[in-house]
């Protein structure tokens, strides 16, 4: 895609002596008021250099730029040079770019094939895959797609919480109150009920805690009975998780969870000890971080069992050795900020310079309208239930509205699940939000269904026209028909799409794409209402169809980056 700012900077540097194109480019502005041009260049900084009053400089520049084919007109207003892009040439460049790119429009090669790890979802075995996990899952999936789109090789890791003292509790509880059949029928709910019962009973009888600790120690030592139970819980849980991932079209390259690192822990301990970083504190092994105003990193407990943080350190080292990553990204709730700061610091102290390439991408909390969730108390909203309910409700709406579809079930799935995912990606990830059915399933406004519907509308226009878009070439069409204000706004948004994708990847912020896709949908709907697309005039119709196609394709590509499908009928 032509980089208009760069082109303008090049032209400007031709008429300004003594200023580099890069410096000029940084000064170019995009006025919020379109009557002041598409781009503006302020001349204040040039007064000293050229020993002239800024308005005079602006006037000179305006008259010398006027001859360029890039602009329709160039004016000076006081110290500003206001540039109006030649809409026809701009539309031609943009629309041919989309047509040439197709599904790849928006992709780039910034990453040059280097490896990036994105770790996301990472639920805990035998615990509910609840609404709180949706954030990591959906945001992480989109960050993976963004990095893939800007040319990185991405390794997707699900760092399952499949290890730790809670398994001692779970096994203890199962042995006391468990029923195999119940677990097989409804693994996570059943195991959760044991977990809840464990905490209730342990309040009355603290010796249960000791029993659980011993059981976990037996598991860490690989005792057969405990290991078998643990493996069974893991398998049953994974079956449930996979169902949810399938519903959302999400997958992973590796399920190396916490347990995967249990045999890699001794080497970490050894290295920490060798480097003089370990200290004993009440029988536990810690790394003191008080110098950096952080509580100590707890490496092993007094009974010798390993901890969450130790497994993270071992995992990062393993990943560096296995994948030689350029970046190692963790999509994990902001509640764990301190945890990540602590162990990134430990890596630094270990002399692992690449600690700088480990990035914690935090996100805010989801709360329920009725109050906070608590696994121990069993107050949770299961993600699978949320998705099922979204599909059911969408089904009702589809039937009620008489939505155009050949397959009600399929559309209900695409739209219902898309709605939940889209809303997850709508706000800046760091914001906390309250989960509410009304917001998720609001089919008006800036929602997934609105964007999907707009895409389907563009598809239907193209279908009704019966035109073969691949035969329409921007170069041969009379694009003056797509130079009106509504069309031009749409072209501008489409033009910016690749830049938006790169920006979203750099900021680990899918909502940048979400918002842009909403803007394109709104701009297309305005164009659709303001202009008659399927006119009798063939030239006019074809130019407008090519723009319709470009809008459809860009929305489709944007939704794909969010992990959301774009139905052709709706
Ligand atoms: N399993 C943890 C949880 O559900 C999240 C794991 C985050 N990833 C990590 N490398 N620590 O809270």
Domain ranges for the chain, please list them: 4-85, 115-368
The finding on whether 492 has its CB within 6 A of some atom of ligand 1 is no
Name the least confident of 192-196, 369-373, 404-408, 501-505. 369-373
* pLDDT at position 372: 58
CATH fold for the domain made of 115-368: Rossmann fold (3.40.50)
DSSP 3-state percent helix, strand, coil across the chain (nearest 5): 60, 10, 30
The finding on whether 311 has its CB within 6 A of some atom of ligand 1 is no
Instruction: Name the residue of 118, 122, 325 whose CB sits within 8 Å of the most ligand 1 atoms, as the mutation to test its pocket.
Output: 122
Atom of ligand 1 nearest to the CA of 312: 10
Quick one: pLDDT band at residue 378, thresholds 50, 70, 90?
A: low
Q: Which two tokens stand for residue 224?
A: 């057969």
Choice between 498 and 372, residue whose per-residue pLDDT is larger: 498
Name the least confident of 207-221, 335-349, 505-519. 207-221
* pLDDT at position 368: 72
Ligand 1: distance of its center to the CA of 385 in Å?
A: 22
Ligand 1: distance of its center to the CA of 129 in Å?
A: 12
Q: What is the mean pLDDT of residues 531-539?
A: 95
Ligand 1: distance of its center to the CA of 358 in Å?
A: 15
Quick one: pLDDT band at residue 264, thresholds 50, 70, 90?
A: very high
> Right CATH number for 4-85 from 3.30.60.50, 3.40.190.10, 3.40.640.10, 3.30.1360.70?
3.30.1360.70
Quick one: pLDDT band at residue 511, thresholds 50, 70, 90?
A: very high
Q: Are 264 and 314 in contact (CB under 8 A)?
A: yes
* pLDDT at position 377: 63
The finding on whether 122 has its CB within 6 A of some atom of ligand 1 is yes
Quick one: pLDDT band at residue 387, thresholds 50, 70, 90?
A: very high
Helices (H), 16-160: 21-27, 46-50, 54-65, 87-101, 131-149
* Residue 424 scores a pLDDT above 70: yes
Clarify whether 199 is annotated catalytic: no
Q: For ligand 1, atom 10, name the residue with the nearest CA.
A: 312
Clarify whether 339 is annotated catalytic: no
Catalytic residue among 133, 360, 492, 544: 133
Catalytic residue among 5, 88, 130, 275: 130
* pLDDT at position 437: 73
Range picked from 62-66, 135-139, 261-265 for highest mean pLDDT: 135-139
Clarify whether 159 is annotated catalytic: no
Quick one: pLDDT band at residue 367, thresholds 50, 70, 90?
A: confident
Residues forming beta bridges with residue 286, ordered by sequence position: 279, 298
The finding on whether 258 has its CB within 6 A of some atom of ligand 1 is no
Quick one: pLDDT band at residue 301, thresholds 50, 70, 90?
A: confident
* Residue 182 scores a pLDDT above 80: yes
The pTM (predicted TM-score) of the whole model is 0.93
* pLDDT at position 1: 75
* Residue 370 scores a pLDDT above 70: no
Quick one: pLDDT band at residue 375, thresholds 50, 70, 90?
A: low
Instruction: Name the residue of 159, 162, 365 whose CB sits within 8 Å of the most ligand 1 atoms, as the mutation to test its pocket.
Output: 159
* pLDDT at position 302: 84
Longest dimension (CA), the chain: 89
Q: What is the mean pLDDT of the chain?
A: 93
Q: Quickly tell me which residue has 């030239």 as its tokens.
A: 539
Q: Which two tokens stand for residue 142?
A: 């989109």
For 298, the enclosing helix (H) or strand (E) is strand 297-300
Ligand 1: distance of its center to the CA of 284 in Å?
A: 22
* pLDDT at position 126: 81
User: pLDDT tens digits for 284-298?
Assistant: 999 999 999 999 999
The finding on whether 343 has its CB within 6 A of some atom of ligand 1 is no
Q: Are 241 and 247 in contact (CB under 8 A)?
A: no
Q: What's the CA gap between 23 and 291, in Å, rounded?
A: 42
The finding on whether 164 has its CB within 6 A of some atom of ligand 1 is no
* Residue 11 scores a pLDDT above 90: yes
* pLDDT at position 258: 95
DSSP state of 52: S
Atom of ligand 1 nearest to the CA of 315: 10
Q: What's the CA gap between 212 and 168, in Å, rounded?
A: 4
DSSP state of 123: P
DSSP state of 295: P
Ligand 1: distance of its center to the CA of 493 in Å?
A: 37
Ligand 1: distance of its center to the CA of 121 in Å?
A: 8
The finding on whether 128 has its CB within 6 A of some atom of ligand 1 is no
The finding on whether 161 has its CB within 6 A of some atom of ligand 1 is yes
Q: Are 540 and 89 in contact (CB under 8 A)?
A: no
User: pLDDT tens digits for 92-130?
Assistant: 999 999 999 999 999 999 999 999 999 999 999 888 788
* pLDDT at position 376: 62
Catalytic residue among 5, 73, 127, 544: 127
* Residue 347 scores a pLDDT above 80: yes
Choice between 229 and 376, residue whose per-residue pLDDT is larger: 229
């Amino acid at each position: 895609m032509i980089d208009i700012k760069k082109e303008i900077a090049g032209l400007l540097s031709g008429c300004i002596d003594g200023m580099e194109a890069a410096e000029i480019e940084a000064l170019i502005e995009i006025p919020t008021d379109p009557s002041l041009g598409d781009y503006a260049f302020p001349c204040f900084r040039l007064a000293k250099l050229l020993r002239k009053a800024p308005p005079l400089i602006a006037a000179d520049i305006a008259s010398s730029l006027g001859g360029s084919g890039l602009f329709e007109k160039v004016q000076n207003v006081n110290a500003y040079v206001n540039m109006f892009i030649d809409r026809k040439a701009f539309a031609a460049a943009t629309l041919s770019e989309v047509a040439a790119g197709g599904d790849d429009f928006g992709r780039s090669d910034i990453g040059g094939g280097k490896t990036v790890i994105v770790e996301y979802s990472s639920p805990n075995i035998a615990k509910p895959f609840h609404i709180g996990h949706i954030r990591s899952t959906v945001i992480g999936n989109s960050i993976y797609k963004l990095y893939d789109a800007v040319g990185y090789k991405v390794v997707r890791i699900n760092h399952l919480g499949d290890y730790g003292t809670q398994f001692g509790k779970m096994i203890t509880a199962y042995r006391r109150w468990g029923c195999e059949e119940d677990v097989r029928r409804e693994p996570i709910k059943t195991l959760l009920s044991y977990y809840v019962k464990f905490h209730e009973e342990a309040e009355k009888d603290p010796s249960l805690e000791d029993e659980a600790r011993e059981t976990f120690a037996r598991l860490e030592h690989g005792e057969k009975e405990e290991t078998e139970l643990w493996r069974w819980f893991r398998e049953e849980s994974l079956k449930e998780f996979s169902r949810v991932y399938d519903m959302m079209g999400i997958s992973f390259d590796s399920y190396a969870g916490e347990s995967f690192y249990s045999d890699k822990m001794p080497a970490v301990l050894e290295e920490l000890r060798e480097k003089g970083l370990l200290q004993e504190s009440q029988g536990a092994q810690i790394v003191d971080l008080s110098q950096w105003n952080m509580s100590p990193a707890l490496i092993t407990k007094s009974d010798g069992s390993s901890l969450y943080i130790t497994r993270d350190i071992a995992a990062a080292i393993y990943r560096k050795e296995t994948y030689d990553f350029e970046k190692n990204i963790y999509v994990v709730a902001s509640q764990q900020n301190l945890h990540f700061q602590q162990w990134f610091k430990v890596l630094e102290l270990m002399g692992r310079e690449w600690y700088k390439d480990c990035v914690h991408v935090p996100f805010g909390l989801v709360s329920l309208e009725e109050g906070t969730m608590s696994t121990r108390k069993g107050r949770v909203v299961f993600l699978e239930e949320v998705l099922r309910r979204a599909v059911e409700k969408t089904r009702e709406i589809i039937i009620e509205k008489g939505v155009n579809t050949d397959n009600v079930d399929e559309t209900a799935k695409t739209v219902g699940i898309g709605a939940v995912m889209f809303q997850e990606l709508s706000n800046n990830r760091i914001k906390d939000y309250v989960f509410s059915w009304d917001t998720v399933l609001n089919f008006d406004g800036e929602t997934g269904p609105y964007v999907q519907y707009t895409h389907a509308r563009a598809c239907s226009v193209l279908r009704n026209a019966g035109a073969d878009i691949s035969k329409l070439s921007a170069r041969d069409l009379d694009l003056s028909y797509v130079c009106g204000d509504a069309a031009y706004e749409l072209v501008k948004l489409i033009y910016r799409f690749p830049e938006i994708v790169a920006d979203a990847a750099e900021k680990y912020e899918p909502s940048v794409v979400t918002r842009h896709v909403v803007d394109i949908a709104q701009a297309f709907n305005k164009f659709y209402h303001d202009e008659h697309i399927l006119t009798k005039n063939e030239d006019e119709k074809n130019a407008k169809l090519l723009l319709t196609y470009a809008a459809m394709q860009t929305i489709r590509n944007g939704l794909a980056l969010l992990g959301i499908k774009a139905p052709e009928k709706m």
